[in-house]
Amino acid sequence: MSKEDTEDTGDALQVEMRGHVMWLTIQREARRNAINGEVLAGLRQALACAGADPDVRAIVLTGAGTRAFCAGADLQSGASFRFDYSQPHQQLADLFREARRCTVPLVARVNGACMAGGMGLLAMCDLAVASRHAVFGLPEVKVGVFPAQVLAVLQHQLPRRVLNELCLMGEPIDAERALSIGLVNQLAEPDALDATLDAFLSRLLDKSPSAIRRGLYTLKHTEHLGFEDAVAFTESQIGLFALTDDAQEGQAAFREKRAPNWTGR
């Protein structure tokens, strides 16, 4: 895919390259960008492609329009929680697995309501910028189910009592509270969301691509390790960072008091 290519993976997801950033936009505005099989398959494929492409240095995930980032499962279909139990893996879980493997920073652009499975999409991202009019919640108990799969990606991001409240009461929270509990990194006025996101991305794109990819790999692999396992893993990694071309260039640029010329290798 070239720098400014746009690809439609069916009608439900648009994949677009903007420079070094892959934009993934759920195109189901009439259904508040609710998840269906086409969206899940398209997202999984796009993340796999991004992870294999050294030219992709960040991924933005968002929803079409201004009303919703993602409202979760499409309850209007009547088939949202009907799975093929002959298969050991389900689509949403496989998407979370793909996101976990991905070493390209995944940034959520939360442009509106982020509910239920949409919270899972948010939580699988590494970073998040949200509109101040966005709302967040896990309302599954209101329709007799529970955000079970979402817990796999959300439970380590929130204080336990906050997570319990969201899951058991099903009530939404506003963007200010989402920021205060660490669910998002930054808020923006609705008409300044893209400008804020661009500035946020610029803080990623001027850094070493190889350090970010290998660093994200390290962060993900140490998250659930105890101290001894974590320190053993990281002591094996630090020497590998130093062997990259970017590490040599970054240190040379520091000594020569100039901007580094990253190659991502």
Q: Known catalytic residues? A: 140
Per DSSP, the three-state class of 91 is: helix
Q: Is a pLDDT exceeding 60 seen at residue 232?
A: yes
Q: Which one, of 36, 91, 34, 41, lies nearest residue 64 by Cα?
A: 34
DSSP secondary structure code for residue 77 in this structure? G
Q: Convert the pLDDT of each residue in 218-229 to its tens digit.
A: 999 999 899 999
Q: Is a pLDDT exceeding 50 seen at residue 108?
A: yes
| pLDDT, the chain, mean | 91
Helices (H), the chain: 37-52, 91-101, 117-124, 148-154, 160-169, 175-180, 193-205, 209-222, 227-242, 245-256
Percentage of residues in the chain with pLDDT exceeding 90? 80
Q: Which one, of 12, 16, 14, lies nearest residue 4 by Cα?
A: 16
Euclidean distance between CA atoms 180 and 139, whole angstroms: 20
Q: Convert the pLDDT of each residue in 2-32 to its tens digit.
A: 445 655 556 899 999 999 999 999 999 999 9
CATH of domain 6-205: 3.90.226.10
pTM exceeds cut of 0.85:
yes
Euclidean distance between CA atoms 26 and 66, whole angstroms: 12
For 189-197, what is the mean pLDDT?
96
Q: Convert the pLDDT of each residue in 239-264 to its tens digit.
A: 888 889 999 999 998 999 999 999 88
